[in-house]
Structure formats: structure tokens, C-alpha cells
Amino acid sequence: MKKYLFVILLSLSLPTQAITLDDLYKRYSPEGESAFDAERGKQLWNQKHTAEDGKIRQCSTCHGNDLSKSGEHVKTKKVIDPMARSVNAERFTKMKKIKKWFKRNCKWTVGRECTNQEKGDLIKYLTQF
């Protein structure tokens, strides 16, 4: 009984439905995909930021230089699954995760939350892989 309850609760807590890329772009701009630019996303991805500890932080600091390979968090050593959808089909499918990690990672890396424009640009760049 306990096990069943656990499974039911677990399934309820999981993000309910996968989001399509189109819907995702529309969340960040009423114009949808056309509002975003992969080149701008690439620049953002590679932009260097100086953190409070004086060290340089950029997306690849933890995600690595090869998006089809796993990354590793520079401080906690946590393994980060590949960003490339060619090897990790789950990327950019769950709104809850997208929101959570944009918030955390923009603050950690850039030092502030990213704008909707930046998020859309980044997604357009990253979903090429």
C-alpha cells in the first residue's frame, strides 16, 4: 500500500507534459521563434563573467566545451548531462526544469536572472545541437 501511494504521489509531482519548442518560444515572446537569434545565443553562451571570487565564469565552465558530452560542475563536481538534444532528448522538454535552471544558472554565471530575450536566444542556439 505504501509503495503504491508513493508511486502515485511521485507521478503526480512529475512535470505533467512535455513542452514543444514552439510553445517554449511563445512563452518568451508573442512573436515566437522569429524573435530569437541563434548567433546572439551563441555569444551569450560564450560570454565571460567575473564572479565574486575573481574567477571567470561562463556556461562552458560547467557544461564543458563539447555539448554532446557530460559536463561537471566546477565547484560541486556534480555530473551534468549533455546539453545536445542529439544525445539527450530530454533537454528543453520540461517547463519546470527549464525555469528552474535558467533562474539558478543565470544568477550563478551572469550574476542576475536572464531576460526572456536572452533565454529564447540561448534555446535557439542550443537546440541546434
For other proteins, which stretch binds (CB under 8 A), given 12-20, 37-45, 83-91, 118-126?
Answer: 12-20
C-alpha cell at 5: 501511494
For the record, the C-alpha cell of 29 comes out as: 515572446
Interaction pattern, residues 23-62, with other proteins; x per rule: CB under 8 A: ----------------------------------------
Distance CA 70, CA 18 (A): 22
SS3 75: coil
Residue of 39, 66, 89, 107 that binds other proteins (CB under 8 A): 107
Position 73 contacts other proteins (CB under 8 A):
yes
Span from 3-11, 18-26, 39-47, 87-95 in contact with other proteins (CB under 8 A):
3-11
What are the residues whose beta carbons fall under 8 Å from the beta carbon of 74, sequence distance 6 or more? Answer: 61, 62
Residue of the chain from 4, 10, 34, 54 that contacts other proteins (CB under 8 A): 10
Size of the site for other proteins (CB under 8 A): 18
Window of 18-26, 73-81, 87-95, 118-126 that interacts with other proteins by CB under 8 A: 73-81
One residue of 33, 70, 108, 129 binding other proteins per CB under 8 A: 108
Which residue, among 43, 52, 29, 25, has the nearest Cα to 123 in the 3D structure? 25
How many degrees, rounded to 5, is the angle at CA 99 between CA 117 and CA 50? 65
Q: Which helix (H) or strand (E) holds 45?
A: helix 38-46
